[in-house]
A and B are shown apart, each in its own frame.
Chain A
Amino acid sequence: MTVKRILVVAVLAAAVAFPHFAGYTLSSIAITALLWAYLASAWNFTFGYLGRTSLGHGAFYGLGAYTTVMLASKFGVTPWIGMWVGAVVAGLAGLLLGAVTLRYKVRGVYFALTTMAAAELLRALFNSWNWVGGPMGLLVSPLPDPANFVFASETSYYYVALAMVLGVYLLNRLLWKTRIGLEAFAIRENEDAAEAAGINVKGVSLFFVTLSAALSALGGTFYAQYMLYIHPDIMFSFEPTLHMMLGSIIGGPSTQLGPILGSLLVSGVDAAFRTLFTGSSMVAIARVMYGLVLVVIMVRLPDGLLGTWELNRRRRIGAQAAAKAAAQATARAAAGAAGAAEAAEATAKEVRPDGTVAG
């Protein structure tokens, strides 16, 4: 416990100190990595909790960015407020999408395609809607002004991104341990069984889809304020969703830290390959190698890096507890209870040494 605490403090200290030692390039890489880590966690509120694969989180990400930038440029609302309006707009969009897909029992690959279609629809709409910039996109006033969420230094952006990652992690941790978190996990594992066990599948699912959409919107705002330019083909494309999925799935969607660590790893490997291999043919080789690394992880560890580790840990704990109970039953049986002996034998037989249970 104390070792764990020291480790947490050390990681936090390193994260806070990082921009003071890193140069501009490293800081930029870190900011992007943190943004994807944040977004992977946001996406994971639908995938990791509900088991629903959204391919259209670009819709929420884009709505967040566009709402903030439009409010700032047309109505002079500071992005610090606009970002929350964007979250509400995207949350409502998520609620609508969730309600429609739940109402018509759109699941699995059909749910995935529906979300993708929603993002494509918004991309087409924003591309042809001149009031919001149309195919020209929108520029954010580049004048550094902390009151308007535009900073002169990478360091400030870094700290905002870090705070977002910490915030989403703490929220995740909280939900994990509360009633609605476990209800969602039951839905993820089996919707009908969850409903039969008294869980309001519709209500819980809507909560997480809405939350996931609203949080993604905040990431979209950050992107807009950091890059200072948004365009429908960037915001509503599949690209942001791809980053979210990769981080979550590589890290482990059914773990608290998986999406964050997975994203940081993916971004790190990507950046390393880009830096190590320069020159046009080498860049191509780097992209192929990057792809291969991802394929190998996904094929070998379908629950993600942390997820596989976590499942194995849980298996081990379960097996140890069962073995201990069996030993106790054996001891009782030795004291004379014949019935207990049978029970002990039955339990002992159930658990193999590798921790799996005989079936």
Chain B
Amino acid sequence: MALLQVERVTKAFGGLVAVNDLSFEVHEGEIVGLIGPNGAGKTTVFNLITGFETPTSGTIRWQGRDLKGLPPYQRCRLGLGRTFQITKPFARLTVLESVMVGALHHAHSQARAREVAMEVLEQMGLAPLAHALAQDLNIVQLKRLEVARALATRPKLLLLDEVVAGLTPAEVPVVVDMIRSVYRRGVTILMIEHVLPAVMTLAQRVVVIDHGVKIAEGTPREVTTNPAVIEAYLGEAGAVALG
């Protein structure tokens, strides 16, 4: 059974249809990329899956169960972890405390959450910064912290919203390695990415959306040679030039 099923989901904000009749699945043990040009509706899809937005129509299933009506925090407790495109640090908490927050729902006490958080920080290479304030971190460290906090919630599926975007070329491989190491620990990953090379090296399967509509799905190689995808990214002229 699929871990996550998005079935014919539509989300309209007034007259603007951000996501249109979208369906796709994520299976356990996969890295799936969700790509598309700016404004394609990728983050809206994440917000629908994690419960920050309610679909206008359609169903989202988690391990076969309809998630309708479940608030975000309960979806998190079911195993849906997420990061935010614009990092949302707990500015005046330390790195350790920030990660403890993610562990509280299963650790129940601050003491136990601290142990879990320390393990996660070790894994993520953030242990030396455990007692630094989140507001003092740089962008790479913030992105690591964002992933660490999500990992502390013990997700089965981790939704990464543009963790590579905004990094310098030198920083990209560092974060790509980080995602790979998270995956190797048995976490299924659904990632939104604007930086295509990062998705192409990581994802086994890619879903491409444009204007909220799925225009292609397949292996990275399949979608990059798909004329519809090239057109969405480069415009019609690009498609003709490459075709």
B-binding segment of A77-85, A191-199, A283-291: A191-199
In this assembly, does B9 line the interface, its C-beta being within 8 Å of a C-beta of chain A?
Answer: no
Contact call A193/B84, Cβ cutoff below 8 A: yes
Number of interface residues of B (CB under 8 A): 48
A186-B93 contact in complex given A179-B108, A359-B137, C-beta closer than 8 Å: yes
Least Cβ–Cβ distance between B48 and chain A, in angstroms: 14
Contact call A315/B133, Cβ cutoff below 8 A: yes
Least Cβ–Cβ distance between B133 and chain A, in angstroms: 6
Contact call A177/B101, Cβ cutoff below 8 A: no
A270 to B92, CA, bound (A): 31
Closest-by-CB residue of A relative to B131 is A318
A199 to B74, CA, bound (A): 8
A325 to B106, CA, bound (A): 29
A169 to B81, CA, bound (A): 36
A178-B110 contact in complex given A197-B76, A198-B105, A321-B128, C-beta closer than 8 Å: yes
In this assembly, does A147 line the interface, its C-beta being within 8 Å of a C-beta of chain B?
Answer: no
Contact call B88/A317, Cβ cutoff below 8 A: no
B-binding segment of A30-38, A39-47, A350-358: A350-358
Least Cβ–Cβ distance between B194 and chain A, in angstroms: 21
Please give, as numbers and ranges, the residues of chain A lying within 8 Å of B98 by CB-CB distance. Answer: 186
Please give, as numbers and ranges, the residues of chain A lying within 8 Å of B141 by CB-CB distance. Answer: 350, 357
Please give, as numbers and ranges, the residues of chain A lying within 8 Å of B94 by CB-CB distance. Answer: 314, 318
Contact among B77, B93, B133 with A185 in the assembled complex (CB-CB below 8 Å): B93
Contact call A319/B90, Cβ cutoff below 8 A: no
Please give, as numbers and ranges, the residues of chain A lying within 8 Å of B76 by CB-CB distance. Answer: 195-198
Contact call B128/A185, Cβ cutoff below 8 A: no
CB contact list, B109-160 vs A, under 8 A:
109-110, 113, 125, 127-134, 136-139, 141, 149-150, 152-153
Contact among B73, B95, B109 with A195 in the assembled complex (CB-CB below 8 Å): B73
A197-B153 contact in complex given A311-B133, A318-B131, C-beta closer than 8 Å: yes
Least Cβ–Cβ distance between B67 and chain A, in angstroms: 14
In this assembly, does B82 line the interface, its C-beta being within 8 Å of a C-beta of chain A?
Answer: yes
Closest-by-CB residue of A relative to B105 is A198
B62-105 CB mask vs A (1 if < 8 Å, else 0) is: 00000000011100110001101000111111110110111011
Report, as a range, how many residues of chain A touch the other chain.
Answer: 35 or more
A357-B92 contact in complex given A195-B71, A196-B84, C-beta closer than 8 Å: no
Please give, as numbers and ranges, the residues of chain B lying within 8 Å of A195 by CB-CB distance. Answer: 52, 71-73, 76
Least Cβ–Cβ distance between A301 and chain B, in angstroms: 14
In this assembly, does B50 line the interface, its C-beta being within 8 Å of a C-beta of chain A?
Answer: yes
A207 to B73, CA, bound (A): 17
Contact among A177, A186, A197, A356 with B150 in the assembled complex (CB-CB below 8 Å): A197
A179-B109 contact in complex given A189-B93, A192-B88, A318-B131, C-beta closer than 8 Å: yes
In this assembly, does A190 line the interface, its C-beta being within 8 Å of a C-beta of chain B?
Answer: yes
Please give, as numbers and ranges, the residues of chain B lying within 8 Å of A192 by CB-CB distance. Answer: 52, 84, 88
In this assembly, does A182 line the interface, its C-beta being within 8 Å of a C-beta of chain B?
Answer: yes
Contact call B104/A183, Cβ cutoff below 8 A: yes
Least Cβ–Cβ distance between B173 and chain A, in angstroms: 13
Contact call B73/A186, Cβ cutoff below 8 A: no
Contact call A194/B125, Cβ cutoff below 8 A: no
Contact call A179/B110, Cβ cutoff below 8 A: yes
Closest-by-CB residue of A relative to B80 is A196
In this assembly, does A322 line the interface, its C-beta being within 8 Å of a C-beta of chain B?
Answer: yes
In this assembly, does A67 line the interface, its C-beta being within 8 Å of a C-beta of chain B?
Answer: no
Contact call A359/B73, Cβ cutoff below 8 A: no
A178 to B132, CA, bound (A): 21
Least Cβ–Cβ distance between A174 and chain B, in angstroms: 12
Contact among B52, B81, B129 with A318 in the assembled complex (CB-CB below 8 Å): B129
Contact among A189, A321, A351 with B130 in the assembled complex (CB-CB below 8 Å): A321
A178 to B206, CA, bound (A): 43
A357 to B104, CA, bound (A): 27
Contact call B82/A196, Cβ cutoff below 8 A: yes
Please give, as numbers and ranges, the residues of chain B lying within 8 Å of A347 by CB-CB distance. Answer: 128-129
Contact call A196/B72, Cβ cutoff below 8 A: yes
Contact call B73/A198, Cβ cutoff below 8 A: yes
In this assembly, does A254 line the interface, its C-beta being within 8 Å of a C-beta of chain B?
Answer: yes
A323-359 CB mask vs B (1 if < 8 Å, else 0) is: 0011001000000000000010001001100001111
A201-B125 contact in complex given A254-B92, A315-B136, A359-B139, C-beta closer than 8 Å: no
- Give me the interface of A with B, judged by CB distance under 8 Å: 177-179, 181-183, 185-186, 189-190, 192-202, 254, 311, 314-315, 317-319, 321-322, 325-326, 329, 343, 347, 350-351, 356-359
Interface pairs (16), CB distance under 8 Å: A181-B110, A182-B97, A182-B100, A185-B93, A192-B52, A194-B90, A194-B101, A196-B84, A197-B105, A198-B76, A198-B77, A201-B73, A329-B128, A347-B128, A350-B141, A359-B137
Q: Known A-B contacts: A185-B101, A311-B133. Give 4 more (CB < 8 A).
A: A182-B104, A189-B89, A190-B88, A347-B128
- Give me the interface of B with A, judged by CB distance under 8 Å: 50, 52, 71-73, 76-77, 81-82, 84, 88-95, 97-98, 100-102, 104-106, 108-110, 113, 125, 127-134, 136-139, 141, 149-150, 152-153
